Amino acid sequence: MNLVWKLLRQHISIPQFSGFFMANLVGMVIILLGVQFYADVQALYDSEDSFMKSDYLIVNKKIGAMTTITGKSNAFSQDEIEDIKKQNFVEKVGMFASSSFDVKASFDIQEFASFSTDMFFESVPDDFIDVMAENWHFVSGEKRIPIILPRNYLDLYNFGYAQSRSLPKLSEGILGAMKLRIAVSGNGKYDVYDGDIVGFSSRLNTILVPWEFMDWANKEYGKSTAVSPTRMIVEVNNPTDENIASYLQEHNYVTDQDKLDASKTSFVLRVIVGIVMSVGLVISILAFYILMLSVYLLVQKNTSKLENLLLVGYSPAKVSMPYQMLTVGLNVLVFLFAFAIVICVRNLYVGMFRSFFTDFNLPSMWATVVVGVLLLLLVSVSNVIAVRRKVMSIWKGKNL
Amino acid sequence: MEKIDLRNVLPDVFSQRTDLSSDIWMQDVSFEKGMTYLVEANSGTGKSSLCSYIFGYRNDYSGNILFDNTDISTVTVNRWVEIRKRSLSMLWQELRLFPELTAMENVDIKNKLTGFQKRKKIREWFEMLGISDKENVKIGRMSFGQQQRVALIRALCQPFDFILVDEPVSHLDETNSEIMGRILTEEARRQGAGVLVTSIGRRIEVNYDKIFRL
């Protein structure tokens, strides 16, 4: 192989190949960084609300002074629900179900304090709850109820109550490990359950329990027939859609503007990352093109050598090998460099993330590795095939 | 490979000619292993074309060429590679050496592929042909006559049933031409191979079993 390489490396143009190397490196870094950045930012959103899908809104009717005075219901009628389901921006609609029984919760913080409060439960259909599905179940007869609490309840305690009373602060982890004592009563029945806090939501301002429990408990302890829903959860396909805001305004509905904004940000971010990655892809494709041109030029310049090697008895596979190794080697090098750069850049921005979001779980880099390896394979396989075809055309060239 | 047959072979460029009289073109000719043949020709009668056709390098001809009754137009790429490595050797008129490599490297590039000749034997041939001092000289710096001798050594660095030598001594003096003939016949006899020599005047002096006029 040595002598063959000595022959075939003639006419290798260092500037051309470094040009390819740089161009492909830029393209690859942009693509991989796009993938990684997206994964990291997504994780940022997820760590906020790991159990909720991102693009949803919570819609209710505006409560004005007149509502209170006239006692007019703020519940959604069946027609109104059907109407919103028909809108183009809507993917899925779920109704909040509220408890029609009495709930009392209490818990102790070691020997420091004990709390007891009247409260309520709400539920949304389970397909709006994303992760932790394995915990999100209630089996009738069991004494465990999974609960998702609003994060600002915890903030209220930590920064308000605990601060003023010199009580210990509670982290989400500690609270998750504690059990709430839940007393449920109604219909002449009284039962005590263990409330298991499986998560905190900063997007849902209510105390959530699984749909199964709500369904069952309303029948078991419920006072009367089902209550009309006053809030609904709506999954939208594009949160930046202007029709959403105008529809809500028209019908005198309200949604939490922050949530809408967060969804918008996430959506815009996705679009931007998509655009940036496309630019990277275009650069990579151009770089690939440069490489192919360089290799073709090289093969062209060394045609007589390649031909003589074939006539001496070297197989097309053996003759193709040096150039195939050259291109694959370059591709692997580009991949490794690109990956190293991505790791460095990531360390920079992750440091920034951490200063904003303390509770941030760094996701793994698998997605990036997979995308990188797939690109590497795709480019390398095309190179190998192209070189082989070029050599075969030399073989056949004289066999007119 | 025991036999090479030519059946009605005619280069495409001659297809319009009516005055063709040749022992090879448009004839049924057989070359057999173990025999030595000379094809004498005037310039432009297709001598090098003949070699290229048999070697599978060109196929701009009509008629059929058969190796042991197999038409070579049906031979696969892999089989050709094998044939060129194990059964058929060729000394090209234009030599097809690599000017960037030294004389020894030019021989090695073939011998490393086939692993056929011992280094000692190769050195001996360099010695016999009077180019032992050129082993490490780049081919580009050598005269055509010297290059012809290197090309012969390279052609012998493989097993073969037939060896085609296209005008091997055009640039050699009597003595070297005679030594070359001796090395060639000796190696061919050792392998029991057939030899096909072409010439347009000066010819390598060996005992020919049959002489064709192209």
User: Residues B172-188: pLDDT tens digits?
Assistant: 888 999 999 999 999 99
Query: CA-to-CA distance for A353 and A369, rounded, in angstroms?
Result: 22
Chain-chain contact of B109 with A7 (C-beta, under 8 angstroms): yes
- Give yes or no for residue B106 having a pLDDT over 90: yes
Q: Is the pLDDT of residue A342 over 70?
A: yes
To the nearest whole Å, the CA of B209 is away from the closest chain A CA by: 28
Chain A CB contacts of B52 below 8 Å: 398
* pLDDT of res. A67: 65
Mean pLDDT of A110-131: 76
Contacts of A392 in chain B (CB under 8 A): 77
- Tell me if B135 is assigned to some domain: no
User: Which of the residue ranges A6-20, B89-103, B175-189 would you say has the lowest mean pLDDT?
Assistant: A6-20
Q: Quick check: A216 and A99 in contact, CB under 8 A?
A: no
Mutation site, A312, A315, A396, A398, interface B, largest B CB count within 10 A = A312
Q: Inter-chain contact A308–B77, Cβ cutoff 8 Å?
A: no
B159 to chain A: nearest residue by CA? A313
pLDDT band at B82 (very low <50, low <70, confident <90, very high): very high
Strands B194-199 and B162-166: parallel
B155 neighbourhood in chain A, CB within 8 Å: none
Does residue B105 belong to any structural domain of this protein?
no
Q: Check residues A49 and A353 and name the one with the higher pLDDT.
A: A353
Angle at A367 between CA A366 and CA A368, to 5 degrees: 90
Instruction: Give the angle subtended at the CA of A92 by the CAs of A87 and A96, to the nearest 5°.
Output: 110
Residue pLDDT, tens place only, A240-280:
677 887 888 888 888 866 666 666 777 788 888 889 889 98
User: Considering the domain boundaries, does residue B103 fall inside one?
Assistant: no
**Residue A353 confidence (pLDDT) above 90:** no
Angstrom distances, CA of residue A40 to CA of A151, A186, A343, A347, A363: 22, 47, 12, 11, 6
Bridge partner residues of A235 (DSSP): A56, A92
Confidence of residue A400 (pLDDT cuts 50, 70, 90): very low
Residue A179 confidence class, pLDDT cut points 50, 70, 90: confident
| CA R_g for chain B | 17
Q: B51 lies in a domain? A: yes
pLDDT category at A110 given cuts 50, 70, 90 is low
Compare CB distances from B59 to A305, A315, A399 and report the shortest one's residue. Answer: A399
pLDDT of residue A53: 55
Q: Is residue B115 part of a domain?
A: no
Domain count, chain B: 1
DSSP notation for B114-147:
H--S-HHHHHHHHHHTT-GGGTTSBGGGS-HHHH
Residue of A204, A4, A39, A36 lying closest to A123 (CA atoms): A204
Examine the pLDDT at A100 and tell me if it is beyond 90: no
Looking at mean pLDDT, say which of A3-12, A246-255, A377-386, B38-47 comes out highest. A377-386
Amino acid at B82: E
CA pair distance A144, A195, nearest whole angstrom: 6
DSSP characters for A192-218? EEEEEEEEEESS--S-B--HHHHHHHH
Task: Work out the percent of chain A whose per-residue pLDDT is above 70.
Answer: 87
User: Which amino acid appears at position A261 of this protein?
Assistant: D
**Which two three-digit tokens encode residue B120?**
């000692």
Structure tokens at A1: 């192989």
pLDDT at A319: 93
Q: B129, B133, B173, B136: which is closest to B151 by C-alpha? A: B129
Q: What is the pLDDT averaged over residues A148-170?
A: 81
Average pLDDT value for residue range A143-160 = 84
Position A13 scores a pLDDT of: 86
| Chain B nearest C-alpha distance from A363 (Å) | 50
- Residue A275's identity, in one-letter code, is I
Q: Quickly state the pLDDT bin for A399 (edges 50, 70, 90).
A: very low
Query: Strand pairing partners for B88?
Result: B162
Range B136-155 average pLDDT: 94
- pLDDT band at A359; cut points 50, 70, 90: low
- Using CA atoms, how far residue A319 sits from A4, A70, A306, in Å, is 8, 90, 7
| Cross-chain residue pair B105–A6, CB shorter than 8 Å | yes
Rg (CA), chain A: 31
Q: Which of A269-273, A309-313, A359-363, B52-56 is predicted with the least confidence, judged by mean pLDDT?
A: A359-363
The total of other beta-carbon atoms located within 10 Å of residue A383's CB is 21
Whether A315 and B78 lie within 8 Å, measured CB to CB:
yes
pLDDT of residue A245: 79
Instruction: Mark out chain B residues that contact chain A at CB-CB < 8 A.
Output: 52, 55-60, 77-78, 81, 84-85, 90, 92, 96-98, 100-101, 105, 108-110, 112-114, 154, 158
Say if B122 falls within a structural domain: no
Residue matched to tokens 């605990």: A162
- ipTM associated with this complex: 0.93
Q: Concatenated DSSP letters for A124-192?
A: --GGGB-S-TTT----BTBSEEEEEEEHHHHHIIIIIIHHHHTPPP--HHHHHHSEEEEEEEETTEEEE
Long-range (24+ apart) CB contacts under 8 A made by B104-109 are B104/B135, B104/B136, B105/A3, B105/A6, B106/B139, B106/B150, B106/B151, B106/B154, B107/B150, B107/B153, B107/B154, B107/B157, B108/A3, B109/A3, B109/A4, B109/A7, B109/A309, B109/A312, B109/B154
Domain interval for residue B178: 3-98+159-213
Tens-place pLDDT, residues A29-72: 999 998 898 888 877 765 555 555 556 778 888 877 766 666 66
Answer yes or no: do B98 and A313 touch at CB < 8 A.
no
**In Å, how far is A315's CA from the nearest CA of chain B?**
6
Query: What pLDDT does residue A346 have?
Result: 92
B24 three-class SS = coil
CB atoms inside a 10 Å sphere around CB A254: 14
CATH number at residue B176: 3.40.50.300
B108 pLDDT more than 90: yes
* pLDDT value of position A25: 92
Q: HSE of A251 in the Cβ direction (CA atoms, 13 Å)?
A: 20
Residue contact B158–A3, C-beta within 8 A:
no
In 3D space, the residue among A57, A69, A60, A58 whose CA is nearest the CA of residue A252 turns out to be A60
Which pLDDT belongs to residue A226? 63
Q: Is residue B58 part of a domain?
A: yes
Q: Taking the mean position of all CA atoms in its chain, how far away is CA A200?
A: 18
